[in-house]
Amino acid sequence: MTFLQSIILTYPQKNDILQKVIINGLEMGNHVLKSQTPKVYKHKSLNTASFGGFHHSDYQVFLDLISKIGGVDKSGKYLQPEKLQREHILTAAEHAKKFNLDVGNSYRYLKKSCDTLMEKILRIDSLDGKQTLKVNVCSSAKYDRSEGKIIIRFTDDIMPYLAQVKSKFLLYNIKEIANFGSLYTTRFYELIQEYKTTGWMEKSVEDLRDVFATANKFKLYADFKRKTFVHACKEIDHNYPNMNLKFEEKKEGRKVVSLRFTFNKKSKPVGKTNQDNTAIVLTKEDTNQEAQQSSKEATEIKNHISELSGFLGAILCQKDLAVKEQTQEQIRQAQKKLAALTS
């Protein structure tokens, strides 16, 4: 849920004011609101698609790019495929910052990913689940070496899988997977996100091979196990020790055919993380402090809504251009405060 939606639901009496604040200009980027924390939005079919030929660096670039797509319109509704922007720019500097990379390596990863995004084909289920499709990710991809950036345009085929349909799409903060060093870990963590409310998931070995896109690698189950999901479980546990991730093999005769994974229902650290993104286990005292902080933030949100409504009234009555511009700047600053509180 975006900060606009949460505010409207929490303070319905302020809904008209919020709509006016957005609709009357107020520099909100063509009436599209973006989350302050980059988030990955994608359809569950895309989450289980096979990304054959993608290396970890390619997949991180892909996630970074789709994190730019999400947003809500002036009515607070998630943007649908026909309204989603298809062309996006990603710089080496911003990519390095999000994934804790050396900038020099980031330049190299962006350049390489242009080829992957253009050439590799995803194998993915149709939205109704009745067919298996092969689709390209991008219709164009350009690397600008002078400015250290890529400019890509997503295909029409991939856009429906990036629509933000609440019952069928996956959402997580990109920083949750930023410290992972393996494609298998990132893909496995994404799978878990589909089941984070149940605390368990069961996948056949063949399904896992497909999601990990191992193709002809690791033909022996023991090698596949060690290189993919065992490695992923260890890396996730290192970053999120309170997840308590475990698995159980299920056999038919002597052959392992499926695996049942169990984990704590809350799939990310509760409330706090260290600077390296590892979890801090909260005590009862910590939890009480978190609750007090949430109450404080709710009060601040309410105050900022009132502040915005006051600015709105001032700007509508103001004829002096200089004062009007100053008031607009005050509105922008208040919006930043509100976004920071609710991101």
Per-residue tokens: 38: 């980059």
Structure tokens at 259: 């695996």
Return all residues near 29 (Cβ < 8 A) that are at least 6 apart: none
Between 148 and 308, the higher pLDDT residue = 148
> CA angle, corner 7, sides to 4 and 10, nearest 5?
150
pLDDT of residue 4: 46
Residue among 123, 117, 142 nearest 57 (CA): 117
Rounded CA separation 247/261 (Å): 4
Q: Which of 134-143, 159-168, 225-234 has the lowest mean pLDDT?
A: 159-168
Reply yes or no on whether the pLDDT at 323 is more than 90.
Answer: no
Residue type, 148: G
pLDDT tier at 149, thresholds 50, 70, 90: very high
Fold classified for 179-281: Arc Repressor Mutant, subunit A (1.10.10)
> Do 99 and 64 contact (CB within 8 A), yes or no?
yes
Instruction: Name the fold adopted by 37-176.
Output: Arc Repressor Mutant, subunit A (1.10.10)
Could you report the per-residue pLDDT of 197-210, keeping only the tens digit for each? 899 999 999 999 99
Q: Mean of the pLDDT values across residues 249-257?
A: 96
Query: Worst-scoring range by mean pLDDT, 58-67, 219-228, 267-276?
Result: 267-276
pLDDT at 274: 40
Q: Is the pLDDT of residue 325 over 80?
A: no
Residues counted in the chain: 343
- Closest C-alpha to 308, from 3, 2, 36: 3
Task: Calculate the CA 280 to chain-centre distance.
Answer: 22
CA atoms 295, 297, 303, 308: torsion sign:
negative
Residue 302 or residue 93, greater confidence? 93
Give the contacts of 211 (CB within 8 A, at least 6 positions apart). 48, 50, 187, 188, 191, 203
Domain boundaries, the chain: 1-31+294-343, 37-176, 179-281
Cα 339 to Cα 2, 310, 317, 322, 334: the distances in Å are 9, 18, 26, 26, 9
Q: Which pair of structure tokens corresponds to residue 83?
A: 């309204």
pLDDT at 182 over 90: yes
- Same topology, domains 37-176 and 179-281? Answer is yes
Whether the pLDDT of residue 246 is over 60: the answer is yes
Element (H, E) at 136: strand 132-136
Residue 155 has pLDDT above 60, yes or no: yes
| Strand 169-173 to 121-125 pairing | unpaired
